[in-house]
C-alpha cells in the first residue's frame, strides 16, 4: 500500500506528498514573501510531476521561519485574510490539489499570536483552521490554541486533522482527533535533531493507538544554528512505516493511503481496537463493558485541577533564558528593521 513515487492514484487511493522544505533563514518581513512564492511554485511543480496528487503538506515554519528574535512581532505575522494566504488558496485551486500550510497568525483580538495550520481544499477554500494547542515551551512564545482539534472531510474518503510539531508528542491530542473521526492525522513540524528518534516513535504510536494513518513532515537543513532532520514519515493505521524520508531538503515523501481501510479496521477489528475498548472495558466479563471514568488525570484536567505529584519540584515553568521578560509582541523595534 506504500508508494515510492506513484504519479497516479485510483478512486479510493489518497496520494499524499510531504515536502521536506529547506529551513528558511528569515531576517525580516521581506523574506516571508520569498518563501510564499517558493511554496506556491512547489505546489504547481509537484502537481505537475504527480498528476494524481490529492494532498500536499508543508512543514511548520516554512512560511515565516524560526528567527526567535523577531518571529512574534507584528510585521512578521499573517492572518487568514493576508495576501500570502490568498496565494496559497490560489495555488491549490490552480493545481486542483488540497494543501496544508503553516503560518504564524496574529490574534484578531489583539492577544499574543498563534502558531497556525490551515488546510485548503482543491477549490481554494479554507477547509480547516487549527491553532497549536501545545506550543513548545520554554522556547515558543505562541498563545495556546483556542480552536480545539477540528476535523474536516478531505478527498478520497479521508477525514483530516492536523497537529503542529510538539502537539504530536501528546497522545491525548491524537486520540482527540481520532475520537472526532479523523482517519488521516497530519503533523507539520520544525524540529531540530534533539528529538529525531522520538519523532518517529510518536508518529508510529499515534497511528497504532488510534487506527489511523499519520502523515508527518519536518523542515530539513541547517539554519546556521540548528540542523533540521527532515525524515518525513507516513505510517499505516497498524503503526508500521509505509514511507520514511531522509535528511534531504526538498525531498518529496509520497504514499498512497486508503482511508476506507482504516475505517474498516475500526469497524471490524476486535483485538487491538484500542480506541473503542477504552470506553467499554472488559466487555467479555461485563456485557457492554465498563463505561465509568477510571482515569484520575482525566477527571482532574476536566475540573481544572491537573497537578503532578512532583509539581513543586519542576524548575522550568516560564520563559527561562529564552524569554526572561515574557514574549515580546507589538511593532518590531528599529534595531531589527532593515
Which residues participate in catalysis according to the annotation? 60, 132, 165
**Three-class secondary structure of residue 134 per DSSP:** coil
Total Cβ atoms within 10 A of residue 312? 7
CA distance 101 to 6: 23
Q: Could you tell me if 157 and 259 are in contact, meaning their C-beta atoms sit under 8 angstroms apart? A: yes
CA distance 71 to 84: 16
**Three-class secondary structure of residue 225 per DSSP:** coil
Q: Could you tell me if 182 and 161 are in contact, meaning their C-beta atoms sit under 8 angstroms apart? A: yes
Please name the residues in contact with 20: beta carbons below 8 A apart, sequence gap of 6 or more.
Answer: 59, 217, 218, 219, 220, 230, 231, 232, 245, 248, 249, 250, 251, 252, 253
The C-alpha angle 83, 84, 88, rounded to 5 degrees, equals 115
Amino acid at each position: 500500500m506504500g508508494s515510492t513515487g506513484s504519479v497516479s492514484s485510483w478512486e479510493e487511493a489518497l496520494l499524499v506528498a510531504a515536502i521536506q522544505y529547506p529551513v528558511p533563514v528569515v531576517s525580516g518581513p521581506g523574506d516571508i514573501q520569498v518563501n510564499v512564492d517558493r511554496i506556491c511554485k512547489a505546489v504547481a511543480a509537484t502537481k505537475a510531476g504527480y498528476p494524481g496528487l490529492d494532498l500536499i503538506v508543508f512543514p511548520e515554519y516554512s512560511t515565516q521561519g524560526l528567527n526567535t528574535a523577531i518571529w512574534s512581532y507584528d510585521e512578521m505575522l499573517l492572518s487568514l485574510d493576508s495576501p500570502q494566504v490568498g496565494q496559497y488558496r490560489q495555488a491549490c485551486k490552480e493545481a486542483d490539489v488540497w494543501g496544508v500550510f503553516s503560518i504564524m497568525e496574529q490574534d484578531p483580538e489583539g492577544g499574543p499570536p498563534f502558531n497556525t495550520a490551515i488546510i485548503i481544499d482543491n477549490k481554494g477554500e479554507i477547509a480547516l483552521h487549527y491553532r497549536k494547542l501545545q506550543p513548545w515551551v520554554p522556547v515558543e512564545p505562541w498563545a495556546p490554541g483556542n480552536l480545539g482539534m477540528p476535523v474536516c472531510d478531505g478527498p478520497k474518503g479521508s477525514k483530516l486533522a492536523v497537529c503542529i510539531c510538539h502537539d504530536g508528542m501528546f497522545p491525548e491530542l491524537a486520540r482527540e482527533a481520532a475520537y472526532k473521526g479523523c482517519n488521516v492525522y497530519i503533523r507539520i513540524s520544525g524540529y531540530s535533531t534533539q528529538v529525531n528518534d522520538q519523532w518517529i516513535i510518536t508518529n508510529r504510536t499515534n497511528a497504532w493507538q488510534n487506527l489511523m494513518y499519520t502523515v508527518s513532515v519536518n523542515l530539513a537543513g541547517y539554519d546556521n544554528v540548528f540542523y533540521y532532520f527532515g525524515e518525513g514519515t507516513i505510517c499505516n493505521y497498524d503503526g508500521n512505516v509505509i514511507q520514511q524520508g531522509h535528511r534531504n531538503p526538498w525531498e518529496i515523501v509520497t504514499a498512497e493511503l486508503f482511508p476506507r481501510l482504516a475505517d474498516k479496521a475500526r469497524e471490524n477489528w476486535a483485538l487491538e481496537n484500542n480506541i473503542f475498548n477504552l470506553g467499554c472495558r472488559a466487555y467479555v466479563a461485563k456485557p457492554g463493558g465498563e463505561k465509568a471514568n477510571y482515569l484520575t488525570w482525566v477527571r482532574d484536567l476536566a475540573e481544572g485541577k491537573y497537578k503532578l505529584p512532583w509539581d513543586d519540584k519542576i524548575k522550568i515553568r516560564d520563559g527561562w533564558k529564552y524569554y526572561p521578560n515574557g514574549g515580546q509582541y507589538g511593532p518590531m523595534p528599529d534595531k531589527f528593521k532593515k
